[in-house]
Amino acid sequence: MTRFACITMFTMALLVPCLGAQGEMRFPPPEFESGYQFPQTTHPPTARSALYEYIDAALLLVALLLASQLILRKRSRRAIFVLMIAALFYFGFWREGCICPIGAIQNVTLTAFDSSYAIPLAAAAFFVIPLVFTLFNGRVFCGAVCPLGAIQDAVLIHPVRVPPWLESGLRLLAYTYLGAAVLFAAIGSAFLICRYDPFVGFFRLSGNWNILTLGASLLVIGLFVGRPYCRFLCPYGVILRQLSRLSKRRVTITPSECIKCRLCEDACPFGAIREPTEDWPEGEFKIAKRRLVLFLVLLPVLIAAGGWAGSSLKERLARVHPRVRTAERVYLEESGQVTGTTNASDAFRTTGQTSETLYQDATEIRNRFATGGALLGAFIGFVAGGKLVALSVRRRRMDYEADPASCFACGRCYKYCPKEHERLKKITGTVAGH
Amino acid sequence: MANSNKEDMTRRKFLREGLWGACLAGAGTAAGLSVARNNRDNTVWQIDPYKCIACGNCATYCVLEHSAVKCVQAYAICGYCDLCTGYLVPEPKALDTGAENELCPTGAIKRAYVEDPYYEYTIDESLCNGCGKCVKGCMAFGNGSLFLQVRHDRCKNCNECAIAAACPSQAYQRVPTDQPYLLKGVDAKE
């Protein structure tokens, strides 16, 4: 075949562009006379061995065992800090922040809803192991193992107090985030937690600018507000909070008994230390009771309102799904409301599917978001209402205690307790309180 | 009370213990479900070359500074054309390797003479940035022997691939680790 013939064939191909389908052999592969051998397409480098996953899971287990020991038995902030930094380097910088338990929420959700998805063993292990540890030992994972917690904990230099109302209010963000992440993972449209992971860019030392900026801002806030991501955003933290309330063992400020010396009062940068309660003043009890009844009545109202609001957001929520976005674009193009095409609509047309199929798919996804959105809204309503109820109930507390839900088990408060100094034999004799 | 045989068992404690057990059972269920579903291989991200439209997102959306996606050449289906639309810009000034004639922005495609009138095109992966310009050209007028693949020595295998999220044709999919490439032509293990 001559060069001329080749060019002619090329021109012919130009004339019949509707041949379009990929993989079509427009030019038959040549028959070489010089004995030329086809090189191999590629020498594919293989993916990382699964062995590393088992190593990661085993290391997580070891780290949690060690963390439990250091936090609950040894009670040494310094040792906890060393473990935390080690975990930051291994799970963060070395393993580059993936997989982490926070993101594993989505893998587990997708496994539950999509039977064709096979969850990596590491993801399952990373999701379950910290949960089990929290049920036994409190949030030891947050305190000493989580790389996202560690990077924030390490930069905390001048903690300021966040008012409790603001803390409770902002925490609603985390519940919303958890609900949304589960919703989008269940419907298979996105892994929100991974998409907006603020610190993974630092762990990898690369990433897109928006996420790096978000991470940097959180770290700057984290100089003054302890662990802002953990407290106000972390979806996994929300689960651990609730489990930690039930834990068998947990952080206690004092190793023996509280003498109410109030020295630990300001020890916690995360606002997790609760003061002893006083009895209701005369007359206030009645008001409090009325308020509680009001909130209990309000709870179902909030749930219903949340459900309604979530369901009416279905169009907007569904737009996260690429199929729905394509459908909307194709609709606009076909109804002549926009001119030109996008990559997505072009790609859709090359598949040869009819637009009716696409619209049907989109409608189905929207309907699923109507249900899912309602559930998400109801969940947020339930959390907000439940918080109001919880705030209007006063629990009896005799001592200064770490709130099991909010305590990250960082161990900062130990050294504030004079009883701890007594335990470590740094002071002689016994200390007594007021 | 049902459990008055234990003196220190109050109602609150009973509820607590029950809830604790339920949570542990829940975690156990999640673990069991995951293990049951894990009878298949672990997965990595890969591009289905028959869905890819070479939009160029692979070059820019990867979390890596230099994308994990590279172009590969399926020699067996390549036409070895002199006038290669994956190699040359439309209406080239001359059929030679001058930079002004090359379509590839990084000059990653190497052209070598085989025999008249055939030329071999090889991808220099260290230069390729995964933009897919050559893929688009080859698909449009050629045999489609050039296509994009995620290189697993580079890919971080993110839980959610950032390029997959931005892919307009949903060409990204999770493939089993032991067959991590979706190749075209006779190299395809189909």
Model confidence pLDDT, tens digit, residues B111-158 = 999 888 899 999 999 999 999 999 999 998 888 999 999 998 888 888
Q: How confident is the model at residue A3 (pLDDT cuts 50, 70, 90)?
A: low
Select, from the ranges A170-184, B43-57, B66-80, B130-144, the one with the highest average predicted confidence (pLDDT): A170-184
Whether the CB of B86 is below 8 Å from some CB of chain A: the reply is: no
Residue ranges of domains in chain A: 56-277+399-423, 284-392
pTM: 0.88
Q: What's the CA gap between A21 and A417, in Å, rounded?
A: 75
What are the residues whose beta carbons fall under 8 Å from the beta carbon of A167, sequence distance 6 or more?
A: A231, A271
What is the C-alpha separation between A382 and B182, in angstroms, rounded? 46
- What is the token pair recorded at A262? 């109030």
A195 touches chain B (CB under 8 A): yes
pLDDT tens, position by position, B99-108: 888 999 999 9
8 Å CB contact between A98 and B158: yes
The three-state (H, E, C) secondary structure of A170-218, written as one string: HHHHHHHHHHHHHHHHHCCCCCHHHHCCCCHHHHHCCCCHHHHHHHHHH
Calpha distance A201→A216 (Å, rounded)? 10
Closest residue of chain A to B119, computed from CA coordinates? A30
Contact at CB, B64 and A6, closer than 8 angstroms: no
The whole-number pLDDT of residue A21 equals 42
**What residues of A are in contact with residue B57 (Cβ under 8 Å)?**
343
Q: What is the pLDDT of residues A92-141, one digit of tens each?
A: 999 888 888 999 999 999 988 988 888 888 889 999 999 999 999 999 99
**Cα gap A372→A381, rounded to integer Å:** 14
Per the structure block, which two tokens stand in for A359? Answer: 């619209």
Minimum distance, in Å, between the CA of residue B25 and any CA atom of chain A: 10
Q: Look-up: residue for tokens 């690369």? A: A206
Q: What is the pLDDT of residue A352?
A: 86
Q: How large is the average pLDDT for residues A200-225?
A: 91
- Per-residue pLDDT, averaged over A167-173, amounts to 94
Half-sphere exposure at residue A402, Cβ-oriented, CA atoms within 13 angstroms: 29
> d(Cα A46, Cα B46) in Å, to the nearest integer?
12
Q: Are B43 and B175 in contact (CB under 8 A)?
A: yes
Predicted confidence at residue A14, as pLDDT, reads 47
pLDDT tier, A426 (very low <50, low <70, confident <90, very high otherwise): confident
d(CA A233, CA A230): 6
Torsion of CA A244, A405, A153, A273, to 10 degrees: -130
Q: What is the distance in angstroms between the Cα of A179 and the nearest Cα belonging to chain B?
A: 18
A212 and chain B: CB distance < 8 Å anywhere?
A: no
- Backbone φ and ψ for A78, nearest 5 degrees, come out as -65, -45
Residues in contact with A106: Cβ distance below 8 Å, sequence separation at least 6, in sequence order: A181, A182, A184, A185, A191, A192, A193, A194, B159, B160
Q: Are A225 and A160 in contact (CB under 8 A)?
A: yes
Helix, strand or coil, per DSSP, at residue A116: coil
ipTM over 0.95: no
Of A1, A47, A127, the CB nearest to B117: A1
Contact B166, B62 (CB under 8 A): no
Instruction: Tell me B174's DSSP state.
Output: E
> B53–A120: do the CB atoms touch at under 8 Å?
no
Alpha-carbon span B34 to A281, nearest angstrom: 53
Judged by CB atoms closer than 8 Å, whether chains meet at A42 and B122 is answered as no
Average pLDDT for A380-390: 94
Query: Span A195-224, mean pLDDT?
Result: 91
A397: Cα within 13 Å, side-chain hemisphere: 15
**Residues A275, A75, A225: CA angle, nearest 5 degrees:** 55
Task: Using pLDDT thresholds of 50, 70 and 90, give the confidence band for residue B190.
Answer: very low
- Indicate the domain borders of chain B: 1-39, 43-187
Nearest neighbour of A41 by CB, restricted to B23, B74, B156: B74
Q: Taking the CA of residue A48 as centre, how many other CA atoms within 13 Å lie in the half-sphere pointing to its CB? A: 15
Contact A50 B114 (CB under 8 A): no
Q: Is the pLDDT of residue A393 over 80?
A: yes
A74-101 exposure pattern, b = at least 16 Cβ within 10 A, e = fewer: ebbbebbbebbbebbebbbeebbbbbbb
- Considering chain A, what is the average pLDDT of its residues? 88
Q: Classify burial at B62, counting beta carbons within 10 Å of its beta carbon; exposed 0-12, middle 13-18, buried 19 or more.
A: buried
A40-71 pLDDT, tens digit per residue, is: 877 666 666 678 888 999 999 999 999 999 99
* Predicted local confidence at residue A191, as pLDDT: 92
Instruction: Report the relative pairing of strands B172-176 and B69-73 from DSSP bridges.
Output: unpaired
Average pLDDT on B159-186 reads 87
Taking the CA atoms of residue A137, residue A139, residue A140 and residue A142 in that order, the dihedral angle to the nearest 10 degrees is 170
pLDDT surpassing 70 at residue B84? yes
- pLDDT winner (highest mean) among A240-249, A284-293, A386-395, B32-41: A240-249
pLDDT attached to residue A16: 44
Q: Give the distance, in angstroms, between the CA of residue A164 and the centroid of all CA atoms in the same chain.
A: 23
Helix, strand, coil % over all residues of chain B, rounded to 5:
30, 20, 55
pLDDT at A333: 93
Q: Say how many C-beta atoms besides its own lie within 10 A of residue A388's C-beta.
A: 18
Contacts of A205 (CB under 8 A, 6+ apart): none
Residue A69's alpha-carbon distances to A58, A123, A150, A180, in angstroms, are: 17, 25, 18, 35
Banded model confidence at residue A15, pLDDT cuts 50, 70, 90: very low
CA distance B147 to chain A (A): 10
Q: What is the pLDDT of residue B158?
A: 87
Closest CA to A245 of A108, A407, A116, A375: A407
A196, A205, B64 from A209: Cα distances, Å = 12, 12, 12
pLDDT score at A17? 42
Q: Is A187 on the interface with B (CB under 8 A)?
A: no
Chain-wide mean pLDDT for chain B? 86
Q: Cα–Cα–Cα angle for A416, A419, A422, nearest 5°?
A: 110
Alpha-carbon gap, residue B28 to A352, rounded angstroms = 45
What gap in Å lies between CA A146 and CA A123, rounded to an integer? 14
- 3-class secondary-structure state, position B181: coil
From the number of C-beta atoms within 10 Å of its C-beta (0-12, 13-18, 19+), residue A52 rates as: exposed
Q: What's residue A23's pLDDT?
A: 44
The pLDDT-based confidence of A1 (bands split at 50, 70, 90) is: very low
